[in-house]
Amino acid sequence: MNDDPVSHGLATVRERLAAAEAAAGRAAGSVQLLAVSKTKPIEAVRAAYALGQLDFGENQLQDALPKLDAMAGTPTRWYFIGPVQGNKTRPVAERFDWVLSVDRERVARRLDAQRPVERGPLNVCLQFNVSGEETKSGVTLEDLEPLCAVVNDLPNLALRGLMAIPAPSSDLQVQRASFAAVREAYESLGTAGYALDTLSMGMTDDLEAAVAEGSTMVRIGTAIFGARARPAGAT
Ligand SMILES: *Cc1c(COP(=O)(O)O)cnc(C)c1O
């Protein structure tokens, strides 16, 4: 179709996503595609935007802010997906549309306090540490419901759901088991009365497993934009 690498990558990912939706018996277009542009230049964002991609994920402020500036005035939506440092919440609260990586009450309260009211509530997913690794970011299962309760009561945050990054595995069944555990946590929060609509799971190497287990938002970097030159934080 087109020799441009981003155009090729995006087309390939759109095909993978459509095939995964069909294989899971889910409606076409029911899984949202978040393009993870972290570490990539603004030209890559512009190329994806020209092909209709509106949702972009970033995990480091200094890398992200010039891109948000460059795309100001477009209908793009920006998702913060990296660890949120307690002393750097303000630009996240002011500039982003979503934060997928909230895992502490203190950060949630600061984001709420610093969100400009005229921008409307900041959309938030709690990052669930499904693999239970002590060093990784994310809320444990036992702390999940209490943090939901806190965030749900903050007026300038809109609690939308969960995000998870399971420990990598090349085994489809292992991938599915991790994602199933995230879905179960998500469903039990729904049963507990939280009105959630976003289950963000699935990256380049486990998109199919995540869609099979009910993901509503995959986050794809490498398969769209190519390999990253430097590891950027979260993964
Ligand atoms: C980098 C990153 C991704 C994208 O990973 P790929 O394997 O390149 O698709 C998704 N989610 C988060 C939180 C990330 O940090």
Q: How far is Cα 128 from Cα 132, in angstroms, rounded to an integer? A: 9
100 Cα nearest atom in ligand 1:
13
**Cα 118 to ligand 1 centre (Å):** 30
Does residue 114 line the site of ligand 1, with CB under 6 A?
no
Which amino acid does the sequence have at 43? E
Does residue 9 line the site of ligand 1, with CB under 6 A?
no
224 Cα nearest atom in ligand 1:
9
Of 201, 206, 200, 204, which is closest to residue 170 (Cα–Cα)? 206
For residue 47, what pLDDT is reported? 98
For residue 182, what pLDDT is reported? 98
Q: How far is Cα 194 from Cα 186, in angstroms, rounded to an integer? A: 9
For residue 135, what pLDDT is reported? 58
**Cβ–Cβ < 8 Å for 22, 28:** yes
Q: Is 7 left (phi over 0), alpha (psi -120 to 50) or beta?
A: alpha
Does residue 59 line the site of ligand 1, with CB under 6 A?
yes
pTM of the model: 0.95
Q: Where are the beta strands (DSSP E) in 103-221?
A: 122-127, 157-163, 198-200, 217-220
**Cβ–Cβ < 8 Å for 156, 108:** no
**Cα 37 to ligand 1 centre (Å):** 9
For residue 137, what pLDDT is reported? 85
Positions in the chain short of pLDDT 50: 1, 234-235
For residue 235, what pLDDT is reported? 44
203 Cα nearest atom in ligand 1:
9
**Cα 235 to ligand 1 centre (Å):** 6
For residue 131, what pLDDT is reported? 86
**Cα 36 to ligand 1 centre (Å):** 6
Within 13 Å, how many C-alpha atoms sit on residue 159's CB side?
26
For residue 2, what pLDDT is reported? 53
Q: How far is Cα 95 from Cα 115, in angstroms, rounded to an integer? A: 9
Q: Which pair of structure tokens corresponds to residue 165? A: 């990054």
For residue 222, what pLDDT is reported? 98
The per-residue b/e assignment along 84-116, b for 16 or more CB within 10 angstroms, e otherwise, is beeeebeebbebbbbbbbbbbbebbebbbeebe
Q: Which of 37, 80, 81, 205 to mutate to test the pocket of ligand 1 (most atoms within 8 A of CB)?
A: 81
